[in-house]
Amino acid sequence: MRLLSGLVVLSATLSCTGSVGDADDKPSTTVSPGGSGGGGAASGGTTDPQNWAPVVACEPTLPVKVTRLSDRHLAHALRDLLGLAAPPPLSTSSSSSEQFLPNKAAAVDGAVATKLRDLAERLALEVTTPGHAYASCGTDEPTCANAFIRDFGARAFRRPLQEAEVTELTSVYGVGRSSYGQHVGGIRLVIEGLLQPPSFLYQTELGSGTAQPRLTQPELAAKLSFFLRDGLPDSALRDAASAGQLETQQQVLQHVDRLLGTDEVKWNVSKMFVRLFDLERLQLTNKAKTVTEFSPELVDSMAEETRLFIDATLWQRGAKLSELLASRETFVDARLAAIYGVPAPAASGFSPVTLNAAQRAGILTHPSVMTHANFDPFGVATKLPTLRCPTRGRTPLYTPTLARTKSTIGCLRISCRGAEPIRTWRS
């Protein structure tokens, strides 16, 4: 898990060339000729013998970044913010909720703005019905309203509100109180107002604006949380950001490790790999009738193997992230045992097995990934850029991690056509 921690911190704070997964868990910076590794200014330091530009250990720089929340993140943010039982269904961008890297969400045009307005009005009504916590005020109403605006606003915007914003929202509260009626009506309109502006809809990485730019602590908390929790920062992370306790790498890692210890984050991180290999759509895989060993039950077994493998590798064995690409340890049931050419488990269900190191290595050689990646031959090139189908006369499967197996991986019967089996070892 420390490996993953390193990955998170690097992505959040550095844009210089870094290496992920060093054994000592320290993010390392490397130098590039002419600073071409995305690095910062170079001054002094070593000079390449072939007259390259002088290079030094690069200074971290922060690429200023603004992105509209994907539908998945937006729905999860609404769930977290409003305490909903489930994320509301949303369709404001072209990205599927299961995409690993969502497409850039298009700008908020008239249709999206209208959808967001209607959604905000519906949800605000839902969470201010009698009996809901927002519906009551124990002290005087102006105090309640002010406290609500500051707390709810800070959670929605993932940063403390500016005083101007508090003033404006107090005005919104007044209109709502008058129009909807009573304190709860004011709260309802404040909620409507906070679910639609850019500060809620866009994730910003603008930094602190200092000489050595870094993410602000609220920005860092939000980035960590959307990555690990797939939603808004929890109270501990929010409090830490507010108290300035996300300053050091150690402080950040404490929260990363805390979050990685929770079931929801484990589930989400595991789900990242399902999304990465598009395995949600594995059930759509089909083969020609001539491939008699193929069946929906076999597809179920493939999916379950990969789920068990990810779970065991990441969360039970405490293995390095690279083991996902290199491990020979996996799980088989009777159906998959026949595919792998290993003895079937004595009992029904799945049992651990160690595969032949000359034939298989990690998740990329799982029947699930190989079957699905070849389901759409044109998808192979786009989803797994280093994976090429040999039957189309391209380069055999090759990744840096699997370079040593390059010559043998090609012997796996990778097929680009539905009429051919795709996942058995050809001796």
The residue among 180 and 375 lying less far from another protein, judged by its C-beta, is 180
Beta strands 28-29; 18-19: pairing state: antiparallel
The residue among 105 and 324 lying less far from another protein, judged by its C-beta, is 105
DSSP of 256-314, one letter per residue?
HHHHHTSHHHHHHHHHHHHHHTTGGGGGG----TT-TT--HHHHHHHHHHHHHHHHIII
How many residues at the interface with another protein, by CB under 8 A?
41
Look at the block and give the residue holding tokens 């090429």. 388
Is 85 a binding residue for another protein by CB under 8 A? The answer is: no
- CA-to-CA distance for 426 and 410, rounded, in angstroms? 10
Interaction residues for another protein, span 55-74 (CB under 8 A)? 64-66, 68
* Distance from chain centroid for Cα 113: 26
| Residue of the chain from 113, 135, 338, 411 that contacts another protein (CB under 8 A) | 113
What separation in angstroms does the CA of 46 have from each of 32, 86, 161? 11, 55, 46
Q: Are 314 and 341 in contact (CB under 8 A)?
A: no
Task: Fill in the per-residue mask, 189 to 208: x = in contact with another protein (CB under 8 A), - = not in contact.
Answer: x--xx--xxxx--x-x-x--
The residue among 6 and 153 lying less far from another protein, judged by its C-beta, is 153
Is 114 a binding residue for another protein by CB under 8 A? The answer is: yes
Tell me the closest approach of the beta carbon of residue 351 to another protein, in angstroms: 35
| Residue of the chain from 23, 41, 111, 346 that contacts another protein (CB under 8 A) | 111
Residues in contact with 397: Cβ distance below 8 Å, sequence separation at least 6, in sequence order? 364, 386, 387, 388, 390, 406, 409, 410, 412, 414
Interaction residues for another protein, span 394-423 (CB under 8 A)? none
| Residue of the chain from 101, 107, 211, 347 that contacts another protein (CB under 8 A) | 107
Nearest Cα residue to 312 out of 327, 333, 334? 327
Tell me the closest approach of the beta carbon of residue 100 to another protein, in angstroms: 20
The residue among 101 and 107 lying less far from another protein, judged by its C-beta, is 107
Output the CA torsion sign for 259, 263, 264, 265.
Answer: positive
Task: Fill in the per-residue mask, 203 to 242: x = in contact with another protein (CB under 8 A), - = not in contact.
Answer: -x-x------------------------------------
> How big, in percent rounded to 5, are the helix, strand and coil portions of the chain?
50, 5, 45
The residue among 151 and 293 lying less far from another protein, judged by its C-beta, is 151
What separation in angstroms does the CA of 317 have from each of 312, 324, 330, 340? 6, 11, 12, 22
Helix axes 235-242, 249-260, angle to 10 degrees: 170
* Distance from chain centroid for Cα 252: 18
The residue among 27 and 153 lying less far from another protein, judged by its C-beta, is 153
| Residue of the chain from 98, 126, 141, 168 that contacts another protein (CB under 8 A) | 168
The residue among 179 and 283 lying less far from another protein, judged by its C-beta, is 179
| Residue of the chain from 14, 77, 82, 90 that contacts another protein (CB under 8 A) | 90
| Residue of the chain from 118, 151, 239, 293 that contacts another protein (CB under 8 A) | 118
Is 110 a binding residue for another protein by CB under 8 A? The answer is: yes
Tell me the closest approach of the beta carbon of residue 155 to another protein, in angstroms: 16
- CA-to-CA distance for 295 and 283, rounded, in angstroms? 10
Is 281 a binding residue for another protein by CB under 8 A? The answer is: no
Is 125 a binding residue for another protein by CB under 8 A? The answer is: no
The residue among 68 and 229 lying less far from another protein, judged by its C-beta, is 68
Binding site for another protein (CB under 8 A): 64-66, 68, 89-91, 94, 107-115, 117-118, 120, 162, 164-165, 168-169, 171-172, 175-176, 179-180, 189, 192-193, 196-199, 202, 204, 206
